[in-house]
Amino acid sequence: MIFLLKNRRMRRVWAALLLLLFCASGWSQGTTFKLAEDPDLPYVIAHCTACHSGSLITQNRMTRDGWLKTIRWMQKEQGLWPLGEHEERVLNYLERHYFPQTSGRRKAIAPHLMPKQNP
Amino acid sequence: MPAKNHLSRRRFLLQSGAFSALLGTEIVFHKYLPPGLLPVALAETNTIAGKDPGLVVLNDRPLNAETPAHLLDDKVTPASRLFVRNNGIPPEAPDSDNWTLTISGESVEQEKSWTIQQLKDNFKHYSYQLTIECGGNGRAEFNPPAKGNQWTTGAVGCPKWTGVRLKDVLQASGIKPDAVYIGYYGADKHLSGDPGKFPISRGVPIHKALEDEALIAWAMNDEPLPLLNGFPLRLVFGGWPASTSGKWLQKIAVRNQIHDGAKMTGTAYRVPCNPVAPGSTVDETQMCIIEAMPVKSLITFPKSGVSQALTEPMLVRGHAWAGDKKVTRMQLSIDFGQTWLNAPLSSPVNKNAWQHWQHKLRFPKPGYYEIWAKATDDTGVSQPMVLPGWNPKGYLNNATHRIAVQVI
């Protein structure tokens, strides 16, 4: 529908509103790899999903320092821009949701590979 | 809503300055964003054109996908079941008729370029079944976790590759005596869209490059390469991290030093030169380049999670491989490694091809079992039961594969 809006200015307003809406509702993430809902999520989407999908976040677990080092590495080697005042929020988000869990030396076989009849 | 509209809407949102509105502040990074790059969150699909729908997508942008063990049961891996590892953005529609490969670098006598047809016309063709495995296959088991795509067991495959020998093509240019390494350059683009950056440019020492089985390949299983696996031309070095087997191959540089392209330096595809405790921070100067991959095996039949009748024997089979070496023994355990049975094992069809094994197992009583598979190479080195040598980037996990079985 928004493609039909001819007026440039109107389109901008619509776009901004829609984007806010999508981000707030999490709809824009699709269903495959869902980044954790959080007030800071829009900052993470804005800064961290331009080059690769958010699945590189959801697959990983790091300490705050680990995330910071990863960001510095991407800034040095991969063309990531300075996050400025948003860095703190992005790091808070990453630390909050994607922190390492302690686990044994070798985990049990993944649930989807287990027998259904296993009592 | 059709995908195309989706994209154009997102592009529009970005260009319209909606981000400033969203974040309520001037966007520090806006000017860094190359055209065509969109902060889209995630795609809505996880099936890949030309690939088996059973492949598991780890990352949809760039596409990275692995093959569940039970889909790797074929002796020769079908193109549809070979994993996909992208470091950058693959070329969209490469033109194989006008594709050229250039041989250059400090250590060639004469720079030369070849079209694919010229390669086909001027050099003898060879076909080999070569195992390629991502260096990070098994990363998902690292604890503390290692960053990157969390491959479980499926970033490996062994298709039949056809092409010309790399050594024949290098020799046509003349290799200077000071040559130590080759480095490749492909047509994939860096994720940032920056044309000055390469997503990946790795290679191998000259001795590996000059082996008979080191190929410049245009075919997989007698068909043109799948786009995602390097169409129209790629390198294949069996038994070494698959990242050495450059896709969408445009240039090979013969180097008088260890190649220093993207992902050759720093911590990429390197492990600590000396073993470290899990979780250690390792200085870049103490990280050494991975060469041949370690001994490993997979149980490809049955699929983990099956039920098995106590009264029947259970047929179990799979493959085993060992980098540049041969697998000489294959063992199975149904009691968590307390006792082991030897499984008959085939010889490889050629160097760097995986080998096949199978066995009939019987279980003593009903209940939950795990089948563990352990291969041993011709130097007596076996797969460990737990994660071997923890390393910061999560490479080289060759711990025994396990499947779960309920005996009823």
Are B115 and B247 in a shared domain?
A: yes
- Residues of B with Cβ-Cβ distance to A79 under 8 angstroms: 32, 190, 192, 194, 197
Range B109-118, long-range pairs (CB < 8 A, 24+ positions): B109/B173, B109/B174, B109/B175, B109/B176, B110/B173, B110/B174, B111/B173, B112/B172, B112/B173, B114/B169, B116/B218, B116/B232, B116/B233
Are B144 and B264 in a shared domain?
A: yes
Give residue B153's domain range. 96-289
d(CA B166, CA B173): 11
Q: Higher model confidence: residue A33 or residue B323?
A: B323
Each residue's pLDDT tens digit, A72-118 = 999 999 999 999 999 999 999 999 999 988 776 788 888 899 998 65
Each residue's pLDDT tens digit, B28-85 = 444 444 433 333 333 334 679 899 999 999 999 999 999 999 999 999 999 999 999 9
Looking at the partner chain, which of B13, B193, B402 has a beta carbon nearest the beta carbon of A109?
A: B402
Each residue's pLDDT tens digit, B115-162 = 999 999 999 999 999 999 999 999 999 999 999 999 999 999 999 999
CATH number at residue B219: 3.90.420.10
Which residues sit opposite B370 in a β-bridge?
Answer: B404
Residue A32: predicted pLDDT: 57
Q: Report if residue B43 sits inside a domain.
A: no
Are B120 and B207 in a shared domain?
A: yes
Which of the four pLDDT bands, split at 50, 70 and 90, describes residue B87? very high
Amino acid sitting at position B307: S
Interface list for B 133-152 with A (CB within 8 A): 141, 143-145, 147-150, 152
The CA-CA-CA angle for residues A83, B144, B375, to 5°, reads 130
Q: Report if residue B15 sits inside a domain.
A: no
Are B402 and B267 in a shared domain?
A: no
Q: Do B59 and A55 touch (CB under 8 A)?
A: yes
CATH number at residue B351: 2.60.40.650
- Residues of B with Cβ-Cβ distance to A23 under 8 angstroms: 22
Q: Mean pLDDT of all residues in chain B?
A: 90
For B367, the token pair is: 């209940």
Q: Would you list the domain boundaries of chain A?
A: 2-100
CB of B336 less than 8 A from some CB of A:
no
CB-count exposure of residue A102 (10 Å: 0-12, 13-18, 19+): exposed
- Residues of A with Cβ-Cβ distance to B23 under 8 angstroms: 42-43, 46, 86
How many angstroms away from the CA of A62 is the closest CA of chain B?
7
The angle that helices A41-48 and A8-25 make with each other, rounded to 10 degrees, is 110
Alpha-helix residue ranges (DSSP H) falling in B62-176: 116-122, 166-173
- Strand ranges of the sheet holding B203-205, from the earlier edge strand across to the other edge: B112-115, B100-104, B249-255, B181-186, B203-205
Residue with tokens 């067991």: B153
Residue A108: predicted pLDDT: 81
From A61, which residue of chain B is nearest by alpha-carbon distance? B145
Average pLDDT rounded to a whole number, residues B267-278:
95
Residue with tokens 């999903």: A49
Each residue's pLDDT tens digit, A13-71 = 334 333 433 443 343 444 457 899 999 999 999 999 999 999 999 999 999 999 999 99
Residue B34: predicted pLDDT: 41
d(CA A114, CA A93): 33
- pTM of this structure: 0.84
- Predicted ipTM? 0.71
In 3D space, the residue among A30, A75, A76, A71 whose CA is nearest the CA of residue A54 turns out to be: A30
A1-5, A89-93, B247-251 — which is least confidently predicted?
Answer: A1-5
How many angstroms away from the CA of B29 is the closest CA of chain A?
6
d(CA A82, CA A70): 13
